[in-house]
Amino acid sequence: MEKVTLTINDKKVTVDKGTTILNAAKQVGVRIPTLCHHEDLCIAGNCRVCVVEQKGTRALVASCAVPAAEGMQIYTNTKKVREARKTIIELLLSEHAGECTSCYRSGNCELQALAQEYLADGDKFIDVADRSPIDISSPAIVKDDSKCIRCLRCVRTCAELQGVSALWSVNKGNHTKVSTFMNKPMHYVVCTNCGQCINRCPTGALTERNYIEDVWAAIDDPQVHVVVQTAPAVRVGLGEALGMEPGAIVTGKMVAALKALGFNSVLDTDFTADLTIIEEGTELLLRLKEALVEKKNVALPMMTSCSPGWIKFIEHQYPELLDNLSTCKSPQQMFGALAKTYYAKKKGIDPARMISVSIMPCTAKKFEAARPEMNSSGFRDVDYVLTTRELAHMIRQAGIDFRSLPEEKYDSIMGESTGAAVIFGTTGGVMEAALRTAYEIVTGREVPFKNLNIEPVRGMEGIKSAKIKIENVKDEWKFLEGAELSVAVAHGLANADKLMKEIKSGKANFHFIEIMACPGGCIGGGGQPIPTSPEIRKKRADAIYVADSSLPLRKSHDNPEIKLIYEEFLHEPLGHHSHELLHTHYTPRRSRA
């Protein structure tokens, strides 16, 4: 690698050619403030907060966008630089409705932090904020243009990471704004509700639709039994939102906090993650049998269906592939359907007086819960979906000292789970869990990977694939003898899009595909703590695998409560009850709006 040497504040530093001034400065311990810059995204260079002085150049240079060059002399803290930065921050404050005290992002707002750092005067310039009505059309995402500072992180996220482009920069000059196709409300465009834009918004311009007050109202109502379920990735994210390090595993504290908040039953989505594996694994084997033995024309590859952002994406962009989706509901919705039937019956609770709440790392789950078909219990299966961030708010509101909270256990039933369910929280996890079970069903033996860790489907590569040879099968699976199961995993919708194109063009051939809408999977979900970065997501994913390997049971079919529910209630995978409660169908949508 070619190197260049430059000076930053008279300190010499040698970096790889192509390194930006911003990153070169980091190497000598100089932090340069940024707003539009984000590690996950391409360089924009438009907020101009990162300007620095380059000796011999009249204009300041944007350090995030300009590569270091041999002999460059950079100064990051001159009068000219400080004055320019402060003015820029003050300009941003003038187009930003500075209602910090009532803002959802207050305390975790990059603009607020910078304004404080530079002691910027929010009233220096005339208020020019865009007071368009706040867009609350979507059950998941709230868009408030008055808070937008046009850094376009959301636009880049939506286009580059998610391949959706629901958000775009429109108009020019003083009318420049982030908007949608024909300026339609968010609910009526191709938005997948994944919330990745929220995770990268530096201010409160994009936030989740929050249902905190509704959930408090349910808890406060003595007539109502409030059941709460917690998704796998929340347990490795919640700590961050409450001041702990990324990657802290807080399962027991979270359960204790939920009990302290007043939820009547604290249960685990991991239970239905295990259930999903049984249903979906069986579905896969059945499809393979139909294709290979009965020579039926079944849709393969089969694709996972647990990620509601992905579901809305495929409904819009690839409606012709909807048959390839597993018919399994997501674990959240399986849980909701069972809570108001199986659980209610076993506990003697009137489902009409039950409110089911879920804690999710996800904003798309809010949309999913509101889908009209999600009422197979006879009621709305999941009443309210809270993100990891909303739960953290409630914990703070309740004055709970989270760090010192003694750990507690989930209630029973529907509180028991295995390591296979925990790894649903990260990219590759559903695939790994499915393989652990499906392989064993077919061969009677454990998957041939050390400690059950299926490494080829782990990690942060955008698209991963693996092949597994199936040998010495049980009699009823003879048709699979010697077959090689070919699987792929993609996370981030831009990667999903790429994979779908390959499949449509016939370039890629797989039996089973796992897709998660968010980069890194649910650990990087749109409802997870802000900020996000590759490093933070890696720590959360590592924590997921630690949680998996420290559980005594690591295969979904070993979960005793799963065995119990089939004995008592469901009777068999893909059976009559399953079809009614655990499976669903999809809706083709238009590709533009």
Nearer to other proteins, 66 or 197 (CB): 66
Is there a catalytic annotation at residue 368?
yes
Catalytic annotation, pick one of 63, 146, 179, 326: 326
Nearer to other proteins, 43 or 292 (CB): 43
Is there a catalytic annotation at residue 365?
yes
Nearer to other proteins, 76 or 276 (CB): 76
Residue 79 binds other proteins, judged by CB under 8 A = no
Rule CB under 8 A: choose which of 37, 38, 48, 200 binds other proteins: 48
Rule CB under 8 A: choose which of 9, 23, 108, 176 binds other proteins: 176
Supply the minimum distance, in Å, between the C-beta of residue 14 and other proteins. 20
Nearer to other proteins, 203 or 330 (CB): 203
**In 10 A of CB 551, how many CB atoms?**
14
∠ at Cα 10 (8, 14), nearest 5°?
50
- Interface segment toward other proteins; rule CB under 8 A; list 157-165, 166-174, 377-385, 408-416: 166-174
Residue 403 binds other proteins, judged by CB under 8 A = no
Decide the pairing of beta strands 11-16 and 3-8.
Answer: antiparallel
- DSSP string for 457-524: G-SS-SEEEEEEE--S--GGGGGGTT-EEEEEEEESHHHHHHHHHHHHTT----SEEEEESSTTGGGG
Phi, psi of 73 (to 5 degrees): -115, 115
Nearer to other proteins, 111 or 248 (CB): 111
Rule CB under 8 A: choose which of 92, 142, 201, 480 binds other proteins: 92
- Interface segment toward other proteins; rule CB under 8 A; list 169-177, 280-288, 383-391, 414-422: 169-177
Contact call for residues 556 and 426 (beta carbons, < 8 A): no
- Interface segment toward other proteins; rule CB under 8 A; list 60-68, 331-339, 421-429, 449-457: 60-68
Q: DSSP 3-state assignment of 285?
A: helix
Q: How far apart are CA 64 and CA 159, in angstroms?
A: 20
Supply the minimum distance, in Å, between the C-beta of residue 145 and other proteins. 14
Nearer to other proteins, 149 or 258 (CB): 149
Nearer to other proteins, 93 or 422 (CB): 93
Q: How far apart are CA 132 and CA 581, in angstroms?
A: 42
Residue 37 binds other proteins, judged by CB under 8 A = no
Burial of 226 (0-12, 13-18, 19+ CB in 10 A): buried
- Interface segment toward other proteins; rule CB under 8 A; list 122-130, 194-202, 253-261, 479-487: 122-130
CA contacts within 13 A on the Cβ side of 414 = 27
Supply the minimum distance, in Å, between the C-beta of residue 263 and other proteins. 45
Rule CB under 8 A: choose which of 59, 295, 469, 482 binds other proteins: 59
Q: How far apart are CA 476 and CA 493, in angstroms?
A: 37
- Interface segment toward other proteins; rule CB under 8 A; list 90-98, 282-290, 445-453, 495-503: 90-98
Rule CB under 8 A: choose which of 28, 91, 291, 321 binds other proteins: 91
Residue 175 binds other proteins, judged by CB under 8 A = yes
Using CB under 8 A as the binding criterion, the count of chain residues that bind other proteins stands at 38
Q: DSSP 3-state assignment of 71?
A: coil
For helices 251-261 and 388-397, the axis angle rounded to 10 degrees is 60
CA contacts within 13 A on the Cβ side of 441 = 23
Residue 149 binds other proteins, judged by CB under 8 A = yes
Q: How far apart are CA 386 and CA 360, in angstroms?
A: 6
Catalytic annotation, pick one of 86, 340, 365, 555: 365
Look at residues 389, 288, 278 and name the one whose alpha carbon lies nearest to residue 334.
Answer: 278
Is there a catalytic annotation at residue 328?
no
Look at residues 324, 346, 527 and name the one whose alpha carbon lies nearest to residue 425.
Answer: 527
Binding site for other proteins (CB under 8 A): 43-49, 51, 58-60, 62, 65-67, 80, 83-84, 87-88, 91-92, 94-95, 124-126, 128, 149-150, 152, 169, 171-176
